[in-house]
Amino acid sequence: MLSKLFKVAGIFSEALRDATEFLRFNAYSPFANKSQRAFYKILIEAHTIEKGLSLPNPKLLFGKDKVRFVMNALSRYDIGHSPVPAHMSLGALDAYVNFHARAGAHDPLLDEIANYLKTWEAKLPKPWKGGTREVTFNGQPPNDLQHLMASRSSIRALQSTPLPPERIFEAIAMAQLAPSQCNRQASRVHAYQDRARIQELLGLQGGSRGFAESVGNLFVVSSEICAWGGPGQRNQAYVDGALFAMCLMFACRSMGWGACPLNLAIDHKTESAIRRAGGIPAGERLIMMIAFGEPIAPDTRVAFSPRRPAAEIATLHA
């Protein structure tokens, strides 16, 4: 009995420590490292430009505020921290200008961007790793892991045709090869093909604007909370659930489908609304959504989303 009481108290005290640690280090904290914060902020905003360009029909002059923000933030950014935000921003801005040139569009903002890019060419010579790139779904999906991993990208130009349920189960069975703590296998996956329900779910998710209308297959990955107990395990549903979701995305790729992960960085109210709309039982923690389907074209434009050099993220502890 006493040990149970300790566990309950532990859950509250760990939640409090989670909150203080988050407050201390999160993106809005004045105590967080300034360059680190700028790094993430620029990456996030530059990604909205490259993502906009990867949509099936980008709107002319979309995201003007984001474009201005990225130029201003990059001008203040210390490139010595990491050149990746510069590559990503300049590549995205360059692709933005080129997209509008191809569309025959004119606007003072486009001239402003072109001049801005010229000022950077000496500081950071081209080619800039950013903007968009092409991926191909032509031929058989790679059957070795390294190439399969390299061939996966977030695909936002999807056909709405519902995929055969038996093929969807095949992909899910493949994703079940994901490891889980003590082989708990607490991950759950809800698959939807009803267009109205998908639109409702995506409306609650909010991160698929510009391509939601074409989504005809949607997963919601969740994880059963009752697999976990005690304060130390409070986040494990996310760990196992995310590993499962990653395997599900690779499984989609190996089936020749495109897939796009969709965040569920939401509050409890929205989580409950999604559960209600999706017929998902209480007691399942929502991990993420994944839009999937045949790609619209065998050659698809995707956001470049460059990766940092491994040495920037790794610490070799001798």
Ligand X SMILES: Cc1cc2nc3c(=O)[nH]c(=O)nc-3n(C[C@H](O)[C@H](O)[C@H](O)COP(=O)(O)O)c2cc1C
In the bound state with ligand X, the residue whose beta carbon lies nearer, of 110 and 201, is 201
Using CB under 6 A, count the residues that bind ligand X.
15
Label the pairing between strands 258-263 and 218-224. Answer: unpaired
Shorter beta-carbon distance to ligand X: residue 186 or 262: 262
Question: What residues contact residue 106 under an 8 Å CB cut-off, 6+ apart?
Answer: 100
Distance of CA 174 to the CA centre of its chain: 21
CA distances, 97 to each of 22, 168, 181 (Å): 38, 40, 48
Q: What is the rounded CA–CA span in Å between residue 246 and residue 89? A: 27
Site string for ligand X, 270-299 (x = CB under 6 A): ------------------x-----------
Shortest Å distance, C-beta 281 to ligand X: 22
Query: What would the two tokens of residue 28 be?
Result: 């809005």
Q: Binding of ligand X at residue 254 (CB under 6 A)?
A: no
- Phi, psi of 35, deg, nearest 5: -65, -40
Cα 211 from chain centre: 14
Using an 8 Å Cβ cutoff, are 227 and 307 in contact?
A: no
Report the residue number, 168 or 303, with the smaller CB distance to ligand X.
303
Residue type, 150: A
Shortest distance, CB of residue 302 to ligand X, whole angstroms? 6
* Residue with nearest beta carbon to ligand X: 207
Among 186, 260, 277, 280, binds ligand X (CB under 6 A): 260
Nearest-approach distance from CB 291 to ligand X, in angstroms:
8
Determine the residue type at 309. P
Could you say which residues in the range 175-204 bind ligand X, by CB under 6 A? Answer: none
Among 39, 51, 77, 178, binds ligand X (CB under 6 A): 51
Which one, 47 or 188, has the nearer CB to ligand X?
47
Which residue type is seen at 30? P
The count of other CB atoms within 10 Å of the CB of residue 129 is 17
Measured from the CB atom, the residue of 252 and 280 that comes closer to ligand X is 252
Residue 236 in contact with ligand X, rule: CB under 6 A: no
- Sheet with 218-224, side-by-side order of all strands: 187-192, 218-224, 284-293, 258-263
- From residue 80 to residue 119, what is the string marking binding to ligand X with x (rule CB under 6 A)? ----------------------------------------
What are the structure tokens assigned to 207, written together?
């991160």
Shortest reach from residue 274's CB to ligand X, in Å:
13
Structure tokens at 186: 């607490």
Positions 135 through 174 that interact with ligand X (CB under 6 A): 153-154, 156
DSSP helix/strand/coil, 225 = helix
Question: Minimum distance between the CB of residue 108 and ligand X, rounded to whole angstroms?
Answer: 29
Site membership for ligand X, residue 43 (CB under 6 A): no
| Token couple for 50 | 């490259």
Task: Specify the residue, 43 or 110, whose C-beta has the smaller distance to ligand X.
Answer: 43
Q: Minimum CB separation from ligand X for residue 207, in Å? A: 2
Out of 83, 261, 293, 306, the only residue in the binding site for ligand X (CB under 6 A) is: 261
**Which residues are CB-neighbours of 227 under 8 A, at least 6 positions away?**
184, 186, 236, 237, 240
Closer to ligand X at the Cβ: 178 or 302? 302
List residues near ligand X by CB under 6 A. 47, 51, 153-154, 156, 207-208, 260-263, 288, 302-303, 305
